[in-house]
Structure 1
Amino acid sequence: MEVVASQRQSLLSVDISCSEVTDSGLNFLSDCSNMQSLSCNYCEHVSEHGLGVLSGFSNLTSLSFKRSDGVTAKGMSVFANLVNLVNLDLERCLKIHGGLVHMKGLRKLESLNMRYCNYITDSDIKYLSDLTNLKELQLSSCRITDLGISYLTGLVQVNTPKFGELSSDRCLLGSYLRIGFTDVVEFESVWHI
């Protein structure tokens, strides 16, 4: 990590997925403030405290933390500083219930993947309703019901035809999607099993 971090301001993209990086290793990147893309997928040794380094990455446009127990509701508070974020991947981050409140100011966000975030519920989804640039939202296998989807209707109507895809398979949806929701909000595609 020291060698990577030695690039400092010239470092724009880092993928440390599937590595043994720890909080202190991630901290080596703190001087790389021009970073635009960071992937830390399957990094089991990064905790919510290690996420603190992200607060200095205001130029970050893409962030991926697939299957990371370190991404928690409390740790997500640093996401509020990532105002230029366009793509965020939190697939299989099981401890983020209650943390989506920290994302409500990410107005440039276009793609959000929360597949298999099994503890995300309707109450979490309401914080996404102000993300007016959102084009793709992956919610497969979350505990979302019709109520949660209803929080998105205003967002989708604002974005029509920009909003392209809502994936909600294996969610707890009732009739909302089945009886005309797609016609009302004009999704290009809605995946629901």
Structure 2
Amino acid sequence: MRLISEGCPALLYLNLSYTDITNGTLRLLSRSFSNLQYLSLAHCRKFTDKGLQYLGSGKGCHKLIYLDLSGCIQISVEGFRYIAKSCSGIKHLIINDMPTLTDRCIQALVEKCQQIVSIVFLEAPHISDTAFKALAECKLVEIKIEGNNRITDLSFKLMSKFSPYIKHIYMVDCQKITDAGLKILSSMRNILVLNLADCISISDAGLKPILEGFSVSKIRELSLANCTRVTDATLMKIAQRCHGLTYLNLRYCDSLTDGGVEALGNLHSLLALNISGIPITDLKFCHGAKHLDYCDVSYCLQLTNNSIKHLAFSCHKLTSFSMAGCPKMTDVSVQYLSGVCRYLHFLDISGCVHLTDRTLRFLWKGCRQLRILKMLYCINITKPATSKHSVKLQKLEYNSDDPPPWLGYDSQGHILLTIWNSKSSQFALENTFQRLDIYGC
């Protein structure tokens, strides 16, 4: 770092993540890099609060607008106060993987850093609504938080009141977010990206006001992955009103049916779609979604070759496709894909137990731009056939092992876990568990 400071005094961008820098380097930054704007100290564990105090002692780092402190669990409230004093112009802040991060840390930071427009807290479980009260002093445009059980609907109320221009809301796996909170969001006018994946308490009732609200025509990306209470009624609303939607994630929304998914054919703007793990039997929506570039139908156990035929002939511009864990697929499905989808760069056919070496011949002939191929648990595809053409690929994942039980079917493609087809059985099973420990994963 001393050599860099001597040779590159005009440096704007510096990424020191996962290095063994100490307080000495932070002192060097404050003395030498007066123009530095981007700094990443992610997962650097050998500097202390004292090092952060050095940042304000020289001419450097006062122009910093981007700071990444992910994984720096040694920083205390005092350390954040030093950052605020030295780098008050920060606009973009990332603090992921911080189990030690508390509301007091954010309060100390925001006392002087009030130009923040983008803040990211992934895996910061102790942050609560109190932090959002402090952030009300900032004009937030983007907020990301994941894996939190303390954030409630109050945070949405604070966003609506103090951050009316927010565009990107990423609230993933926040268990206390409910339909009441979503109704508050319906008054916001500028939402472009809304990610509510794994917020398992939300349902059609909460999404309806948003899909009838001021932002509905502006939403470009929407993720409702694992929101199991969402039904076809929400899909109908999405199809009718989200005319600018380009990305939609419905992974494991297992209350959806063929009828709801078919309505998505009205979304002519759609470029990327994830419907993996949904109990559908066909892909008729593809006739209207002709511009799809990315599609994931993995673990849709009932899909057949005819479904892939619909997809291939309607969405011939696909560059990325996954049908992993679809036990009914045969070589014919790949023949359809390779015959029409000539732009495929990525393909995942893992767990398709009926595919044979013919599949590879179809791919090598038709998909000449294929770069990444995943073929795990393809028991009827041989190693010699795989090795013959693997040099054409940038990345290949292959084995011929029997499919593991968690895929839900055996080596013949026979479904094992039929209990999940019954909601009453699922409810009964869930209420049987008193304790579940999974060690060593």
TM-score, structure 1 normalization: 0.87
Bigger Cα displacement from structure 2, 94-103 vs 132-141: 94-103
Cα shift at 1:164: 0.4
1-structure distance, mates of 2:270, 2:217: 14
Match of 2:234 in 1: 99
- The reply to whether residue 76 of structure 1 matches residue 210 of structure 2 is no
1-structure distance, mates of 2:198, 2:136: 24
- The reply to whether residue 183 of structure 1 matches residue 318 of structure 2 is no
Local SS of the residue matching 1:170: coil
Name the aligned partner's letter for residue 237 of structure 2.
H
Cα shift at 1:184: 4.4
When residues 112 and 21 of structure 1 are mapped into structure 2, their CA distance, relative to the original with a 3 A threshold, is same
- The 5 Å alignment of 1:32-181 reads 32-80=163-211, 81=213, 82-97=216-231, 98-104=233-239, 105-146=241-282, 149-156=283-290, 159=291, 163-171=292-300, 172-179=302-309, 181=311
Local SS of the residue matching 2:173: coil
Q: Is the 8 A contact 2:226 2:253 kept in 1?
A: yes
2-structure distance, mates of 1:102, 1:183: 27
- The reply to whether residue 12 of structure 1 matches residue 146 of structure 2 is no
| Larger relative contact order, structure 1 or 2 (CA cutoff 8 Å, min sep 6) | 1
Aligned residues: CA RMSD: 1.8
Match of 2:155 in 1: 25
Cα shift at 1:143: 1.2
Q: How many residues align?
A: 184
Deviations 1:115-159 (A, max 9, x none): 11122211211332221110000000011211xx11231232xx3
1-structure distance, mates of 2:167, 2:257: 30
Cα shift at 1:41: 0.4
Local SS of the residue matching 2:236: helix
Cα shift at 1:26: 2.2
Local SS of the residue matching 2:186: helix
1-structure distance, mates of 2:222, 2:196: 8
2-structure distance, mates of 1:155, 1:119: 22
1-structure distance, mates of 2:256, 2:248: 13
Q: Flag structure 1 segments of 5+ consecutive residues without an equivalent.
A: none
2-structure distance, mates of 1:5, 1:170: 42
Q: Is the 8 A contact 1:79 1:102 kept in 2?
A: no
Name the aligned partner's letter for residue 153 of structure 1.
H
TM-score, structure 2 normalization: 0.40
Name the aligned partner's letter for residue 64 of structure 1.
N
Q: Is the 8 A contact 1:76 1:100 kept in 2?
A: no
Name the aligned partner's letter for residue 83 of structure 1.
S
Q: Is the 8 A contact 2:225 2:252 kept in 1?
A: yes
Name the aligned partner's letter for residue 86 of structure 1.
R
Name the aligned partner's letter for residue 4 of structure 1.
L
Name the aligned partner's letter for residue 16 of structure 1.
I
Q: Which has the larger radius of gyration?
A: 2
1-structure distance, mates of 2:137, 2:251: 34
Cα shift at 1:6: 3.1
Q: Is the 8 A contact 2:251 2:274 kept in 1?
A: yes
Cα shift at 1:56: 2.0
Q: Is the 8 A contact 1:182 1:190 kept in 2?
A: no
When residues 90 and 181 of structure 1 are mapped into structure 2, their CA distance, relative to the original with a 3 A threshold, is closer
Local SS of the residue matching 1:112: strand
Q: Is the 8 A contact 2:286 2:314 kept in 1?
A: no
2-structure distance, mates of 1:101, 1:74: 13
When residues 180 and 69 of structure 1 are mapped into structure 2, their CA distance, relative to the original with a 3 A threshold, is closer
- Percent identical: 21
2-structure distance, mates of 1:179, 1:25: 46
